Amino acid sequence: MRFGACLLALAAMATGLTACGNSAAGSIVDKAKNDKKLVIGIKIDQPGWGLKKPDGGYAGMDVDVAKYVAKELGVPESGITFKEAQSANREPFIQQGQVDMVVATYSITDERKKKISFAGPYLVTGQDILVRADDTTITDVESLKDKKVCGAQGSSSPKRLADKFGTEWESKNLTQQQGYGACLPLLENKQVDAISTDATILAGFAAQFPGKFKLVGKPFSTEKYGVGIKMDDKSGRDAINTAIEKMFKDGTWRKSIDANLGEFGKFFSSPPSVERY
C-alpha cells in the first residue's frame, strides 16, 4: 500500500526525484517544515560544546546553535532528537541520512566539502595543546616531535600532526581514540604527554578539571566551525546561514558563548562572517 502510494506520488512528480523512504533527496528546509522534527548529531563528551548531562539532557554551544537553527527552520526543541556523533562518523551520518545535520565542533574543510556541505562558520578557533598542569617541556607544536600525543579518529587535529611529523611519528607517537574525552585519562595517567585539538575543546577540559591540565595557548591552525548538512542542499545552507546571522545579531550567540565557555569566551569578541556558496 505504502509502496503503491509512493509510486503514485513519484509518477505525479515531474522531477521524479523525491525519494520514498529515509534517504529523501529534498532540502532540510522542507523536511523541517513538514515533519517539525530533526535528528541532529552532536558530541556528548566535550564540556562547553556538546555534553550529556546527568539528567539525560545536553548542554554546550553546539547544542545552543543546533536548537536555534532548528527553531528558525520551524522545529521546536521537543522535535529535536540529539544523536551522539564522533569525529569519524560525522560525514557518514550525514551521507547515510542517519542525521539531518551535524553541529559538533565540525571544521569546514575542502576535503569534507566533497562529501557534505557546510553552513557557517559560527565560530573560528585554532588547534592547540593540552598538557598536565606541571609540564614545562611542551611549549608549542614543535615540542610534540618527541612526545606522545592523543587525538580522536577522523578529526582533522591528529591528521595535521601526522602530516607535519610523518608516518614514523604517527605510528610511534600518536594514539587515536574515538573521542577527545577518552584522551583525558591517558593524559592524566601519563600514557600520553599531550592532547592536541581545537583550543575551544581543550579549554573546556581544563575548566572541567581545575588544576589538573593546562592549555599551552599557541594555536597553529584555523578551524572554522560549520553546520554540516547533505551535499548540494543549497537552500538548506542558505536558510541555516540566515539563522546563524540572526543568532549573531539578536545577542543569542554572545549569551551562549558566555554561558558555555566561561573565561575562555572573552577571546571571541565578535562573530565571524558566514561563507555563502
- Interaction site with ligand GLU (CB under 6 A): 87, 104-107, 152, 155-157, 197-198, 223
Cell 543568532, residue located: 247
Q: How many degrees, rounded to 5, is the angle at CA 142 between CA 137 and CA 148?
A: 65
Do residues 22 and 28 lie in contact, with contact meaning Cβ atoms separated by under 8 Å? no
Q: How far is the CB of 86 from ligand GLU (least distance, A)?
A: 8
Q: Which residue lies nearer to ligand GLU by CB, 98 or 178? A: 178
Q: Which residue lies nearer to ligand GLU by CB, 100 or 223? A: 223
Instruction: For residue 107, give the C-alpha cell.
Output: 571544521
User: What whole-number distance in Å separates Cα of residue 141 and Cα of residue 94?
Assistant: 32
Q: How far is the CB of 126 from ligand GLU (least distance, A)?
A: 10
Q: How far is the CB of 106 from ligand GLU (least distance, A)?
A: 5
Q: Which residues contact 207 (CB under 8 A, 6 or more apart)?
A: 47, 48, 262, 263, 264
Residue 180, sorted as left (phi over 0), alpha (psi -120 to 50) or beta, turns out to be: alpha
Q: Which residue lies nearer to ligand GLU by CB, 13 or 231? A: 231
Q: How far is the CB of 119 from ligand GLU (least distance, A)?
A: 15
Q: How far is the CB of 198 from ligand GLU (least distance, A)?
A: 5
Q: Which residue lies nearer to ligand GLU by CB, 105 or 173? A: 105
Q: How far is the CB of 206 from ligand GLU (least distance, A)?
A: 16
Q: How far is the CB of 214 from ligand GLU (least distance, A)?
A: 19
Do residues 58 and 42 lie in contact, with contact meaning Cβ atoms separated by under 8 Å? yes
Q: Measuring CA to CA, which residue among 223, 86, 108 is closest to residue 154?
A: 86
Q: Which residue lies nearer to ligand GLU by CB, 117 or 197? A: 197
Among all residues, whose Cβ is closest to ligand GLU?
Answer: 155
Q: Which residue lies nearer to ligand GLU by CB, 18 or 153? A: 153
DSSP-derived secondary structure for 145-195: GGS-EEEETT-HHHHHHHHHH-HHHHHHHEEEESSGGGGHHHHHTTS-SEE
Q: Which residue lies nearer to ligand GLU by CB, 24 or 184? A: 184
Residue 67, sorted as left (phi over 0), alpha (psi -120 to 50) or beta, turns out to be: alpha
